[in-house]
Amino acid sequence: MDNKKIIAGNWKMNLDYNESKELIQNIASSEGDFNADAEIVVFPSMPFLSVFHELLKDNNVRLGAQNCYIKNSGAFTGETSPTQLKSLGVTYCLVGHSERREIFAEDYDLLAKKVKALLEVNITPVFCCGEKLQVRESNVYKEFVMRQIEESLFSLSPQDLAKVVIAYEPVWAIGTGKTATAEQAQEIHNLIRNRIAKEFGEKTANSISIIYGGSMNPDNARELLAQKDIDGGLIGGASLDADLFAQISTSYSE
Ligand code: PGA
């Protein structure tokens, strides 16, 4: 497989400017503690991106945004466009995090448009999917996650789909301290890869990175990252600590 290992930190709406700056400086100065074979990405709050781009200039840590709009300019008060992000040196952007689907009612169609708008300016979309506890318990969780992927990603060309990173984040595991077991996560990752292979061919399926999110920490990362179809992690809580974040990044087994 030629897909990338990715360890990404989703800071959400946490930390004020000074706290965020301290964290980014800690990450930048402890670069040697991070896994050099993995792409390390941080997703701080939008207003800090410009300054943080400067701070990360001589560093391999990549900068990501937590959200964007579907248009590049115009009368869309409060929104940020893919071209604006691009001009700040942003190279990744989250799309469809469960908090945005749930709190901001983002639907399949909007998310499909966000993915396309980002790809047009060469920003890598990190497309999040995952089921709530209710769906998991009702046993249609596989169909549910497949539908999220099909509805928002399957109108892409194979070349474009290969540029997307998919993050499987079971909602019941986000911020709850309750991680999916390695088997539960691998089951869905494998399903996603097989579904992509069926629709777009093995080459595309094998080049796409599928990362896991939901209470990942240094204690559970090794087992999760050892799974065949788990290529990395999208880490919330534990990414707010540079040491824990670095430890997770080095949890790939040889
Ligand atoms: P968590 O968040 O690691 O705090 O569970 C993950 C995410 O929401 O991306």
DSSP letters spanning 40-63: EEEE--GGGHHHHHHHTTTSS-EE
Ligand 1 centroid to 237 CA: how many Å?
Answer: 6
| Model-wide pTM > 0.75 | yes
Q: Which two tokens stand for residue 110?
A: 């909007």
Cα-flanking dihedrals φ and ψ of residue 56, to 5°? -100, 5
User: Which residue's CA is minimally distant from atom 6 of ligand 1?
Assistant: 236
Digit-coded pLDDT (tens) for 127-141:
999 999 999 999 899
Structure tokens at 66: 């937590």
Note if 169 is an active site residue. yes
Question: Among residues 39, 97, 106, 131, which one is catalytic?
Answer: 97
Check if 10 has its Cβ closer than 6 Å to any atom of ligand 1: yes
Domains within the chain, CATH numbers bracketed: 6-252 (3.20.20.70)
Q: Percentage of the chain surpassing pLDDT 90?
A: 94
| pLDDT for position 1 | 54
Confidence of residue 184 (pLDDT cuts 50, 70, 90): very high
Whether 201 lines ligand 1, by a CB cut-off of 6 Å, is no
Q: What is the pLDDT of residues 62-90, one digit of tens each?
A: 999 999 999 999 999 999 999 999 999 99
Per-residue pLDDT at 254:
66
* pLDDT per residue as tens digits for the range 198-240: 999 999 999 999 999 999 999 999 999 999 999 999 999 999 9
Of 98, 126, 212, 215, the residue with max ligand 1 atoms within 8 A of its CB, to mutate for a pocket test, comes to 215
**Atom 2 of ligand 1 has which residue's CA nearest to it?**
236
**DSSP E strand boundaries for the chain:** 5-10, 38-43, 62-65, 92-95, 124-129, 165-168, 209-213, 232-235
Say how many Å lie between the CA of residue 97 and the centre of ligand 1.
10
Q: Atom of ligand 1 at shortest distance to CA of 237?
A: 4
**Mean predicted confidence (pLDDT) in 102-118:** 98
Predicted local confidence at residue 204, as pLDDT: 96
For 30-40, write each residue's pLDDT tens digit: 989 999 999 99
Task: Kindly provide the b/e burial profile for residues 133-161, where b requires at least 16 CB atoms within 10 angstroms of the residue's own CB.
Answer: eebbeeeebbebbbebbeebbeebeeebb
- Let me know if 187 is a catalytic residue: no
Give me the mean pLDDT over the 152-163 stretch.
97
Query: Which of the listed residues 6, 7, 10 should we mutate to test ligand 1's pocket, taking the one with most ligand atoms within 8 A of CB?
Result: 10
**What pLDDT, on a 0 to 100 scale, did the predictor assign at position 179?**
85
Alpha-carbon span 56 to 51, nearest angstrom: 9
Residue 3: predicted pLDDT: 83
Atom 3 in ligand 1: which residue has the minimum CA distance? 236
